[in-house]
Amino acid sequence: MGSDHHHSGAECQEVFTKLSEYLDQELPEGDCERLREHLEGCAPCIEFLNSLKQSIHLCKELQLTGKPGPLPEPLKSRMLECYRKALASKRGKLES
């Protein structure tokens, strides 16, 4: 994972919007390849991806029946924390 890669905040936001489709294997191969290339050099996006994977894992473990309720607050807080951390990291890199 090279730390010398620099990505724009817009590029990271695009990655964030496609991660669910990526994990569900619903993206075209070209999009998957571009996403993988971005992830190779973007620690905040990797962290967000890992957080999303953990969220999916936890949701599958719940095995909910019926209509799901709101996200548990600890999970919601963790997801928001990871998203904010990723954005703050990108802002810091863009400002330096």
4 pLDDT exceeds 80?
no
Residue 23, pLDDT score: 86
Residue 55, pLDDT score: 86
Residue 14, pLDDT score: 86
The residues spanned by each domain of the chain are 9-95
pLDDT (tens digit, 9 = 90+) per residue, 5-56?
456 678 888 888 888 888 888 989 989 998 999 988 888 889 888 988 888 8
The CA distance from 20 to 25, in Å, is 9
45: exposed, middle or buried (Cβ count in 10 Å: 0-12, 13-18, 19+): buried
Per the rule left: phi > 0, alpha: psi between -120 and 50, beta: everything else, 90 is alpha
